[in-house]
Amino acid sequence: RTLSFDYVPQRLVHREAQMKKLVMLYRPVVESNLSQNAVLTGSVGTGKTATAKRFCADLKDFAEKQQKAVDWVLVNCRQRNSESSAVLHVVNHFQPNFPDRGFSITEMLRILRKDLEKRKVHLVIVLDEADVLLKKAGPDIIYKLTRFGEEKVDGRELVSLMLISQKNIFELLDASSTSTFKRTNVVEFGKYSSDELRDIVKTRAELAFHDGAIDDD
């Protein structure tokens, strides 16, 4: 299990700086009931998705200790590359049997809002490979989600966004969305060095195998 592609370890090796920046960016979600947005950018295989998953799981746990409710959902935008398909996946997080056709995006967001109000929860929506969605569907979905996230219920904002992209996402956003995603909210992921990759493999091997099962080579 610990060697599978989807496994996210408790501690990510050599991604401490990125985790620290995410903590700084999303702290107001728990402490001040505010929505926050960030862009995770870097080439393929640099740990963006794993870092987002680990951070969101940790944020949920941290919020719970503060008697706050935070949840998260990850949308694979390569698989869900239309506005309606992406929003439907988010609605399915709370309503797994929600019908996959017959509802407009506005209606689905209204239903999502009711779910968030009922549960008194703040939702972090992670759009993985967001550039694929933006190229196919345009930037309108980002505008809708950021405006939706800033709406308040009992003084709480409802939704935060996290965009993951290999490409420069700002070229694909319109002016109104760009203003929401400040350049200071970009978390950059450089390529791993060979020593860093060795540390990652070593850490996974320690999780997966009995002591002495494999040697350093």
DSSP 184: G
**So what's the pLDDT on residue 119?**
94
Residue 178's pLDDT is 76
Q: Give me the torsion for CA of 113, 102, 161, 182, rounded to 10°.
A: -110
Count the neighbouring beta carbons within 10 Å of the beta carbon of residue 144.
16
DSSP for residue 212: T
Q: Mind listing the pLDDT tens digit of every residue in the chain (217 residues)?
A: 999 988 999 999 999 999 999 999 999 999 999 999 999 999 999 999 999 999 999 999 999 999 999 999 999 999 999 999 999 999 999 999 999 888 999 999 999 999 999 999 999 999 999 999 999 988 888 988 988 877 787 888 999 999 999 988 888 888 777 777 777 799 999 999 999 999 999 999 999 999 999 988 8
Task: Kindly tell me the burial class for residue 40, based on how many C-beta atoms sit within 10 Å of its own C-beta (0-12, 13-18, 19 or more).
Answer: buried
Give the H or E element holding residue 159: strand 159-165
Q: Structure pTM?
A: 0.93
Q: How does strand 156-157 pair with strand 70-76? A: unpaired
Q: What is the pLDDT of residue 108?
A: 95
Written as six digits, the tokens of 11 are 């501690």
Q: Cα angle vertex 39, ends 143, 141, to 5°?
A: 20
- Tokens describing residue 139: 């930037």
